Amino acid sequence: MYPFFETIRYKNGIVENLSYHQTRINRTLLALGGNTSIQLDEIHIEGDVEKDIVYKIKCLYNLEGAFHIEKEIYNKKTIQTVSIYLAAQEEYQFKLTDRTWLNDALKKSGTDEIIIVQNNIIKDGNYANLVFFNGNEWHTPLHPLLLGTHRARLINENKIIEKNITLSDIANYTSLKYVNAMMLWEESPEIAISEIVY
């Protein structure tokens, strides 16, 4: 019923990065010939909320313009182990509720998170975009599986730079971060490259 979704950070009455989420919804609907009437700034968050608590707002929607809102307290994922996952030609161009292949890939890895590689090119993690640090700059894959909203904002703020990164290029970096809409930049988990399991 709702094949697409957006996950939005909500704290102290503020729905964060709204314009970036709206852009991605519009891009999805336009690409697939959907009804572009969904306006996130008109969505009302129902129920009680606690001060200084981060909530995950999930906006599920379809091509007809129908949507459904869910809310829950956000719990940040703990990442201690990371491995390389060599993928075939699977795609995740749109933020789909069907994440079967991504979840299966993570389960098969036996680690907390993965680095998805296709045709020797670094793509994404299971639940977030990737950003690599070389001691001077932060680089993010030029063609990720999914164009993340936090990634887009960091690029616009000149905090990260798009770059084609191959599997062998990883050795040129010292650490990596997983970034998504639910975490501020300083909250994003950072892992030493030396900890990656090949």
Q: In this model, does residue 133 exceed pLDDT 90?
A: yes
Mean residue pLDDT across the chain: 96
pTM, 2 dp: 0.95
What per-residue confidence (pLDDT) applies to 45?
Answer: 87
Residue-wise pLDDT for 6-46, tens only, equals: 999 999 999 999 999 999 999 999 999 999 899 999 888 88
Please state the rounded mean pLDDT for residues 102-106. Answer: 97
Domain, as residue range, for 44: 4-73
Reported as a pLDDT band with limits 50, 70 and 90, residue 123 is very high
What per-residue confidence (pLDDT) applies to 3?
Answer: 98
What per-residue confidence (pLDDT) applies to 42?
Answer: 87
- In the 8-state DSSP scheme, what is residue 78? P
What is the number of structural domains in the chain?
Answer: 2
Please state the rounded mean pLDDT for residues 159-164. Answer: 98
Same domain, 116 and 146: yes
Which conformational region is residue 179 in: left (phi greater than 0), alpha (psi within -120 to 50 degrees), or beta? beta
Residue-wise pLDDT for 35-87, tens only, equals: 989 999 988 888 888 999 999 999 999 999 999 999 999 999 999 999 999 99
| Cα–Cα distance measured from residue 83 to residue 126, given in angstroms and rounded to the nearest whole number | 11
Q: Which residues contact 120 (CB under 8 A, 6 or more apart)?
A: 166, 167, 168
Same domain, 55 and 88: no
Last residue of a domain, one of 45, 73, 101: 73
Same domain, 117 and 183: yes
Same domain, 183 and 132: yes
CATH number at residue 134: 3.20.10.10
What per-residue confidence (pLDDT) applies to 157?
Answer: 97
Residue-wise pLDDT for 184-198, tens only, equals: 999 999 999 999 998
Identify the three-state secondary structure at position 76: coil
Last residue of a domain, one of 73, 96, 127: 73
Share of the chain above pLDDT 90, in %: 93
| Cα–Cα distance measured from residue 15 to residue 137, given in angstroms and rounded to the nearest whole number | 29
